């Protein structure tokens, strides 16, 4: 198996090497698109299963809406269209003929879903209306990278309709909390969470909330977003309801989503020099048994015990016996390390003599001898839970050690320009002009705004104007 690029020296190539060697995906014939290979798609299936359960716990139901959006429909919300126009793919011909009306391939689905909401919502009794769809979308990105940014990607997009702003605000917060909990509990990802500045909000939204993770190269990566869309879409798509006293009102909309970018996030947050490190709750294979033998007699004896261990653990652990004769044990060790399998169990003739196995943790590389009799479901579940927590703790420590607070612009530039990078809290004067000047000079953008305001008298380090916000800066994917 080829060696991975050095993670410290060439992180972008390391990332591409991991995707290739872990057999997650490959480039499609259409530039900017990828083919999800079975191991990579298994990650998305696991994400879907867990996140779908959480979405439904919020009282949201799944539905599905068309891929194509008529031009007349998408044009009704001007700010929305303006924000997405450069990324839109448009169908002009179908069935061998030029279409009388262009069809947009959805970059997101607010327009077509809210057109349906106008038909479904009539009374306050119809609210709240909470819909989610698992779908694909197309955004014509110029610079792509597998999982992190592709022309076509998979995601879930929630869309809800509420009688009051307060109810919509609660939904927006609940969706963001759901993502943060999912990141922490299922993916072992610590995230920063907060509000986007006005110039970074979703096109057509009242405001946008986001979760942000930190990759091992010190760059931020947006993990999930939640938007209060206000009443703009209700007005554009003529969504009305009669309130309790019979007065006609416009409802408040929210939308929120998480995409296959989260797979890339897992790679860049948890990955190390040897490849993937998958949290056990996400891993398609949680444990792999690698039998070691030279003779047929040894093979028979080792495989017998390997199969017995597999049979004991299989009801509660996703386990595999790698019995390929054409591959050496060393090759298998390297392959399963690249694939990020949380636990490797080595079993050879010497282990049989001692009635033990060698257990290797992917998160730390630690090797320990364990009696075969101790390879019980409860013991292995405890081990996997420990690895899940260990990965979170490591990522959280990295996040904390790479989050800084500064007052001067020189300190901001110094940290952003360093090899380690990271998040930097700095006072901001609240203007788009200053944010864009910082981005042009440092390539760092404002990821989130802090809940606490700057102390009185503190000034923006670049403009010298009194600061109105504490902003979280970082270079980002």
Q: To the nearest whole percent, how much of the chain has pLDDT over 90?
A: 95
pLDDT band per the 50, 70, 90 thresholds, residue 141: confident
3-state secondary structure of 131: strand
The strand pairing partners of 68, in sequence order, are 105
Q: What sign for the dihedral angle of Cα 418, 433, 223, 181?
A: positive
Q: What is the pLDDT of residue 165?
A: 98
Q: What is the pLDDT of residue 452?
A: 93
Q: Identify the pLDDT of residue 1.
A: 73
Number of helical H runs and strand E runs in the chain: 14, 23
Parallel, antiparallel, or unpaired: how do β-strands 152-162 and 192-195 relate? unpaired
Q: Give the model's confidence band at 221: pLDDT under 50 very low, under 70 low, under 90 confident, else very high.
A: very high
With left for phi above 0 and alpha for psi between -120 and 50, is residue 23 left, alpha or beta? left
Q: What are phi and psi of 430, to 5 degrees?
A: 85, 5
Per-residue pLDDT band at 142 (split at 50, 70, 90): confident
- Mean pLDDT computed over 181-189: 98
pLDDT digits (tens, 9 = 90+) for 276-285: 999 999 999 9
**Amino acid 91: pLDDT:** 95
Q: What is the predicted pLDDT for the residue at 77?
A: 76
Question: Largest Cα–Cα distance of the chain, in whole Å?
Answer: 85
Q: Give the span between the Cα atoms of 260 and 36, in whole angstroms.
A: 10
- How does residue 74 score in pLDDT terms, banded at 50, 70 and 90? confident
Is residue 136's pLDDT more than 80? yes
Rounded Cα gap, residues 54 and 51, in angstroms? 5
pLDDT digits (tens, 9 = 90+) for 291-319: 999 999 999 999 999 999 999 999 999 99
Question: With 80 as the cut, is the pLDDT of residue 96 above it?
Answer: yes
The overall average pLDDT reported for the chain is 96
Q: What is the pLDDT of residue 82?
A: 76
Asked whether residue 80 carries a pLDDT value surpassing 90, the answer given is no
Classify strands 252-259 and 287-291 as parallel, antiparallel or unpaired: unpaired
Residue 143: pLDDT band (50, 70, 90) is confident
Percent of the chain with pLDDT over 70: 100
Q: Please say whether the beta carbons of 257 and 144 come within 8 A.
A: no
What pLDDT does residue 29 have? 96
For residue 382, the surrounding DSSP H or E stretch is helix 377-401
Task: List domains and CATH numbers for the chain.
Answer: 11-270 (3.30.930.10), 287-383 (3.40.50.800), 403-474 (3.30.110.30)
> pTM for the whole thing?
0.95
Nearest one of 283, 270, 289, 443 to 364, comparing CA atoms: 270
pLDDT (average), residues 341-357: 97
pLDDT > 80? residue 79:
no
Q: pLDDT at position 83, please? A: 73
Q: Any bridge partners for residue 228, and if so which?
A: 207, 254
Segment 87-95 shows an average pLDDT of 93
Summarize pLDDT for 369-401 with one digit per residue, the tens: 999 999 999 999 999 999 999 999 999 999 999
CB atoms within 10 A of CB 290: 26
pLDDT band at residue 86, thresholds of 50, 70 and 90? confident
Sequence-distant (6+) residues with CB within 8 A of 64 are 133, 134, 135
């Amino acid at each position: 198996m080829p060696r991975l690029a050095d993670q410290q020296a060439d992180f972008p190539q390391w990332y591409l090497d991991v995707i290739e060697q872990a057999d997650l995906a490959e480039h499609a014939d259409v530039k900017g698109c990828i083919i999800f290979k079975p191991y990579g798609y298994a990650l998305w299936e696991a994400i879907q299963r867990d996140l779908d359960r959480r979405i439904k716990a919020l009282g949201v139901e799944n539905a599905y809406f068309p891929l194509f959006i008529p031009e007349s429909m998408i044009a009704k919300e001007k700010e929305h269209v303006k924000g997405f126009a450069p990324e839109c793919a448009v169908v002009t011909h179908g069935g061998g003929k030029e279409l009388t009306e262009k069809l947009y391939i959805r970059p997101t689905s607010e327009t077509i879903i809210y057109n349906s909401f106008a038909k479904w919502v009539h009374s306050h009794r119809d609210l709240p209306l909470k819909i989610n769809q698992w779908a694909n979308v197309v955004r014509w990105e110029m610079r792509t990278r597998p999982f992190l940014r592709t022309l076509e990607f998979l995601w879930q997009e929630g869309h809800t309709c509420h009688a009051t702003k307060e109810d919509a605000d609660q939904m927006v917060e609940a969706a963001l909390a759901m993502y943060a909990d999912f990141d922490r509990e299922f993916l072992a990802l610590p995230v920063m969470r907060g509000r986007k500045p006005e110039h970074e909000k979703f096109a057509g939204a009242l405001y946008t909330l986001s979760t942000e993770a930190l990759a091992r190269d010190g760059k931020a990566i947006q993990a999930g977003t939640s938007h209060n869309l206000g009443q703009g879409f209700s007005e554009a798509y003529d969504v009305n309801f009669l309130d309790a006293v019979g007065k006609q009102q416009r409802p408040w909309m929210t939308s929120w989503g998480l995409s296959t970018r989260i797979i890339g996030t897992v790679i860049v947050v948890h990955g190390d020099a040897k490849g993937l490190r998958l949290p056990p709750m996400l891993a398609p294979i949680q444990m792999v048994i690698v039998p070691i033998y030279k003779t047929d007699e040894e093979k028979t004896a080792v495989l017998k015990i390997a199969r017995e261990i597999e049979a004991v653990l299989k009801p509660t652990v996703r386990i595999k016996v790698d019995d390929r004769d054409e591959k050496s044990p060393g090759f298998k060790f390297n392959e399963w390390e690249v694939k990020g399998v949380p636990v490797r169990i080595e079993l050879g003739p010497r282990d049989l003599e001692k009635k033990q196995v060698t257990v290797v943790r992917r998160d730390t590389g630690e090797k320990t001898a364990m009696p075969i009799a101790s390879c019980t479901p409860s013991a292995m579940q405890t081990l996997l839970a420990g690895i899940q927590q260990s990965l979170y703790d490591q990522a959280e420590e990295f996040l904390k050690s790479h989050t800084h607070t500064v007052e001067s612009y020189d300190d901001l530039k110094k940290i952003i320009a360093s090899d380690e990078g990271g998040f930097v809290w700095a006072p901001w004067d609240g203007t788009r002009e200053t944010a864009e000047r910082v981005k042009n000079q440092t390539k760092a953008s404002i990821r989130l705004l802090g809940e606490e305001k700057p102390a009185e008298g503190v000034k923006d380090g670049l403009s010298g104007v009194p600061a109105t916000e504490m902003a979280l800066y970082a270079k980002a994917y």
